Structures are given as structure tokens and as C-alpha cells.
Structure 1
Amino acid sequence: MILRHVTFDSARPYELATFWSKVTGWPVSDSGEPGDDEVLVEAPAPVPGMLFIAVPDAKTVKNRVHIDWQPTDHTRDEEVDRILTLGATIHEDHRRPDGRGWVTLLDPEGNEFCIERSQSEVTS
């Protein structure tokens, strides 16, 4: 068995997929267009894609599952700053004075995700 997609319920799938495409650098599927009920952000194999599906319900509670990201080309703080400019907001800041910790952000529809320290920050 393989994990094919991580699926997100969404009010506006194309717009949310576009946000995540900018965050990850992965493309929105060629078949994705504004107004579509399903839009896929295609990840490089073997990473699962991110599928955004229209639902009528608004998000009302904390996610039971969320994604933790580790930057590869930036520090944690640079990545947080970059993603904030794309439309995310800070939900909880768990950074410590010693440099450890993470930041929990919200995407434009309120889904939680975390940015951890990069591998170079962890090993230095």
C-alpha cells in the first residue's frame, strides 16, 4: 500500500492549492482550474500529492492531523517569513531562546501546519 494523497477539505480548492503550490514549489495539476471541486498539487515521487476537495462546511475546530515541514533551502525563521508573505498567519510560536522549537502556522483556510528547524540547524 502507498500513501497517494493528503486530502484537505476546502471552501475554495483552486485558491488553496495555489497557496500550497507556492509554499512547496510543487505544481498545481494541469487539470486544475479556478472553480474546480478537486485540485491536485503534484509532489515529486514518492511523496504523496496534496488534494483539495470542495466541501460546503466551514472549518470549525482544530485539525486532528497536520503536516510538519522541514525547510531544505532556508532556515526555519526564513521559511516562516516567506510563508507569511504568501498568506499564512502565525497560530502558535514555539521557538525557544536556544534556537530550538517550531512555529505553527495557519493556511488561508485555517488549516494548521508546522515549520521545524532545517536539517542544518538541527545538526549545527
Structure 2
Amino acid sequence: MILRHVTIDCSNAYDLATFWSTVTGWPVSDEDAPGDSEVLVEAPSPVPGLLFIQVSEGKTVKNRIHFDWMPTERTRDEEVERVIGLGARLYEDHRTADGLGWVTLLDPEGNEFCVERSTGERGL
């Protein structure tokens, strides 16, 4: 089996897909446009794409699954600031004085995701 997409329910598929496209640098599918109820952010192979599906129900509880992102071109702290500048909000800060830890953010629709230390910060 191959994981093709990770699907996220949302209230505005195109807007949320555009946010995640900007965060990841992955393009929104050429087949999708504002107002579409299903919008795909195309990830580089073999990574699964992000499929945003518009639903009428709002988010009411903590996510049962979320993304843990590790920056490749910036430090964790630089990436947190960049993503907040794109519209994310700080939810929980788990950074420690010794430089370890992660940050939990919320996307524009309140979905939780984490930003961890980069490979350079981990000494890998």
C-alpha cells in the first residue's frame, strides 16, 4: 500500500491549502481554484500530498493526529517566526533553556502542528 494523501477537513479548502502551500513550498494543484470544495497541495514524491476537503462542521476538539515539521533551511526558532508571519498562531511552547524542545502552533483554522529542531540543531 502507498499513502497517497493526508486529508484535512476544513471550512475553506482553498484558503487553507494556500496557507499550507506557502508553509511547505509545495504547489496547489493546477486543477484547483478559489471556491473549490477539494484542493490538493502536491508534495514531492514519495511524500503524500495534503488534500483539503471543505465540510460544514467546525473544529471542536484537539486534533487526533497532527504534523510534526522539521525545518530544512532554517532553525526551529526561525521557522516558528516565519510560519507565525504567514498566519499561524502560537499554541504551546515546549522549548527549554538548553535549546531542546518544540513549538506547537495552530494553522488559520485551529489545527495543531509542531515545529521541531532542524537536523543541524540536532547535530545530524
Classify the TM-score, shorter chain: over 0.9
Q: For residues 3-29 of structure 1, give each alpha carbon's deviation from its aligned partner in whole angstroms, at most 9, with x where no partner exists.
A: 100100010000000000000000000
Name the residue aligned to 1:52.
52
> Where does structure 2 lack aligned partners over 5 or more consecutive residues?
none
Distance in 2 (CA, whole Å) between partners of 1:21 and 1:43 is: 9
2:65 counterpart SS class: coil
> Where does structure 1 lack aligned partners over 5 or more consecutive residues?
none
2:105 counterpart SS class: strand
Distance in 1 (CA, whole Å) between partners of 2:58 and 2:71 is: 30
Distance in 2 (CA, whole Å) between partners of 1:16 and 1:53 is: 10
Distance in 2 (CA, whole Å) between partners of 1:3 and 1:104 is: 25
Displacement after TM superposition at 1:36 (Å): 0.3
TM-score, normalisation: structure 1 = 0.99
Number of residue-to-residue matches in the alignment: 124
Name the residue aligned to 1:62.
62
2:80 counterpart SS class: helix
Identity %: 69
Name the residue aligned to 1:75.
75
Q: For residues 16-75 of structure 1, give each alpha carbon's deviation from its aligned partner in whole angstroms, at most 9, with x where no partner exists.
A: 000000000000000111110100000000000000001000000000000100000000
2:77 counterpart SS class: helix
